[in-house]
């Protein structure tokens, strides 16, 4: 397969303006660098009926294109399990019986960030594991050999983040986000990851796991978020607005593209512009480094 970039939404509802702007940027990064572009549905958690189809329709309405098939993580459970089994066979995982609250309440190791896994179950004996299995199923954690890892980001430069013994499989057997994205990116030749900068802190863990699995670490570009007028990241409960809702206010998809292009410094206010035209103007180095405050237009 050809090296590619990707957009990987969760089909838990319709895409809002923040999601759509990130998708446009991911497409521009990929296409401008000669890469393929792929879509992956991260559907391991909550899924809303019909959301996948509506999301794809919205992306197409913006003028984005992608290679088929659209990958669903729910179809790849056996692959994630096999990856964890391989790590376990090499002694690189351990069972953990801690709840999230127990991890948060446990005393942290010196210099460890708040919420870092304190190693509670790392060195349990087999007898102790057998005893704990009677109370709750075990999650599977990676036995990390480092406490930090550095990635290079096209917009942020070198970024070093903490790495602890993070979860690979939850207690109910669901693959964790950090595992699934690494396995999928490698499987589908994703060598460029463009996403919101709220996910920058997860990149070191994922890059470290990729290296542990023998995969190349992708190029990263964590782009600025979209905020509401109160300075809060857009979400369904904090002023997020979808393409369908914007259409009801008189903003069709081409006008939304122009609005997003203006926010990126790639078009004059109200200038009609298409995604293809933006591709000719795209310069990653000229992108804004600060969030865009989006105020929904009045009806």
Contact 161, 149 (CB under 8 A): yes
Share of the chain above pLDDT 70, in %: 96
What does the pLDDT read at residue 17? 94
Q: What is the pTM of this model?
A: 0.93
> What kind and span of H or E run contains 93?
strand 93-96
Q: How far apart are CA 151 and CA 217, in angstroms?
A: 9
Is it the case that residue 238 has pLDDT exceeding 80? no
Q: How far apart are CA 176 and CA 165, in angstroms?
A: 13
What CATH class has 4-74+224-293?
alpha beta
User: What pLDDT band is residue 44 in, cutting at 50, 70 and 90?
Assistant: very high
| Average pLDDT of span 264-277 | 96
> What kind and span of H or E run contains 235?
none
Ranges in the chain annotated CATH 3.40.50.620: 4-74+224-293
Residues in the chain: 299
What does the pLDDT read at residue 157? 97
User: What pLDDT band is residue 4 in, cutting at 50, 70 and 90?
Assistant: very high
What does the pLDDT read at residue 112? 66
Is it the case that residue 114 has pLDDT exceeding 80? no
User: What pLDDT band is residue 110 in, cutting at 50, 70 and 90?
Assistant: low
When the candidates are 3.90.800.10, 3.60.15.10, 3.10.105.10, 1.25.40.80, the CATH number that belongs to 77-186 is 3.90.800.10
Ranges in the chain annotated CATH 3.90.800.10: 77-186
């Amino acid at each position: 397969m050809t090296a590619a970039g990707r957009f990987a939404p969760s089909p838990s509802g319709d895409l809002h303006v923040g999601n759509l702007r990130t998708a446009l940027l991911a497409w521009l990064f990929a296409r401008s660098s000669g890469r393929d572009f792929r879509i992956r549905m991260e559907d391991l958690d909550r899924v809303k009926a019909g959301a996948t189809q509506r999301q794809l329709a919205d992306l197409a309405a913006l003028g984005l294109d992608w290679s088929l098939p659209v990958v669903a993580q729910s179809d790849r459970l056996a692959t994630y399990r096999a990856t964890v089994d391989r790590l376990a066979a090499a002694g690189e995982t351990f069972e953990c019986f801690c709840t999230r609250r127990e991890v948060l309440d446990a005393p942290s190791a010196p210099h460890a960030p708040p919420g870092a896994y304190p190693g509670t179950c790392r060195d349990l004996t087999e007898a102790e594991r057998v005893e704990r299995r009677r109370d709750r199923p075990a999650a599977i954690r990676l036995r990390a050999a480092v406490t930090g890892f550095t990635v290079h980001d096209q917009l942020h430069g070198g970024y070093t983040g903490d790495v602890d013994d993070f979860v690979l499989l939850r207690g109910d057997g669901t693959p964790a986000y950090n595992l699934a994205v690494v396995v999928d990116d490698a499987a589908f030749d994703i060598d460029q990851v463009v996403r919101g900068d709220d996910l920058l802190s997860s990149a070191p863990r994922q890059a470290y796991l990729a290296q542990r699995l023998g995969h190349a670490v992708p190029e990263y570009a964590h782009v600025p978020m979209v905020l509401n007028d109160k300075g809060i990241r857009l979400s369904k409960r904090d002023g997020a607005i979808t393409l369908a809702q914007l259409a009801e206010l008189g903003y069709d998809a081409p006008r939304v593209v122009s609005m997003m292009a203006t926010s990126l410094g790639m078009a004059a206010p109200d200038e009609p512009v298409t995604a293809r035209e933006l591709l000719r103007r795209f310069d990653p180095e000229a992108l804004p480094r600060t969030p865009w405050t989006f105020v929904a237009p009045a009806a």
